[in-house]
């Protein structure tokens, strides 16, 4: 193991695993809430997350507790989903553009899982407020944005993982 990896602080290592998902989740949330301004209202997407698990009354009228719980749930999920991507990227040695493209593919897989398995499957009886908050195309776009930001931060961000760095090129005499 290199001395660089041995001397890293635990906080920096934790930040490397947590921050990419957190930042990508913020981009996702901002997009969803801006789209919500034009399709339902600003707070409908995060509030709908909490309503999907039974917190709050149905509908898009503002409710403080579901709004805050939805934001917290979204960010927590973003971190968890981000950590899983980083583990996959490390296992597959994704670097550079392949990390960004891998992030996009991963975002679409997450969308399919969340939409079809969770919202249309397990939570079908309570997810109507969330599903009506924004048009479906915007959720696909949000998951693609999440993946792009996640992959880009893993490959190019200031806290990029040294395990995913390209090996230094050797100069050989001709």
Q: How confident is the model at residue 2 (pLDDT cuts 50, 70, 90)?
A: very low
**pLDDT reported for residue 174:** 55
Q: How confident is the model at residue 159 (pLDDT cuts 50, 70, 90)?
A: confident
Question: Residue 135 — left, alpha, or beta (φ > 0 → left; ψ -120 to 50 → alpha)?
Answer: beta
Is-above-0.75 flag for pTM? yes
Per the prediction, the chain carries an average pLDDT of 90
pLDDT digits (tens, 9 = 90+) for 34-87: 999 999 999 999 999 999 999 999 999 999 999 999 999 999 999 999 999 999
Cα-only R_g, the chain: 19
pLDDT digits (tens, 9 = 90+) for 94-135: 999 999 999 999 999 999 999 999 999 999 999 999 999 999
Q: How confident is the model at residue 1 (pLDDT cuts 50, 70, 90)?
A: very low
How many residues are listed for the chain in this entry?
A: 174
113: Cβ contacts below 8 Å, ≥ 6 apart: none
The domains of the chain are located at 11-53+72-164
138: Cβ contacts below 8 Å, ≥ 6 apart: 31, 32, 35, 39
Q: How many Å is the maximal CA-CA distance in the chain?
A: 73
């Amino acid at each position: 193991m290199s001395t660089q990896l041995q001397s890293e602080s635990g906080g920096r290592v934790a930040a490397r695993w947590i921050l990419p998902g957190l930042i990508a989740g913020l981009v996702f949330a901002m997009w969803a809430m801006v789209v919500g301004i034009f399709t339902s209202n600003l707070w409908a997407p995060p509030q709908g997350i909490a309503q999907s698990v039974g917190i709050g009354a149905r509908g898009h009228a503002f409710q403080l507790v579901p709004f805050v719980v939805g934001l917290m749930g979204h960010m927590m999920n973003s971190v968890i989903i981000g950590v899983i991507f980083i583990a996959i990227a490390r296992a597959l040695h994704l670097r550079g553009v392949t990390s960004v493209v891998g992030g996009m593919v991963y975002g679409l897989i997450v969308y399919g899982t969340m939409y079809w398995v969770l919202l249309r499957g397990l939570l079908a009886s309570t997810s109507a407020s969330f599903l009506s908050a924004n048009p479906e195309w915007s959720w696909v776009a949000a998951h693609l944005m999440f993946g792009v930001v996640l992959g880009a931060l893993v490959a190019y961000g200031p806290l990029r993982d040294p395990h995913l760095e390209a090996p230094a090129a050797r100069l050989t005499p001709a």
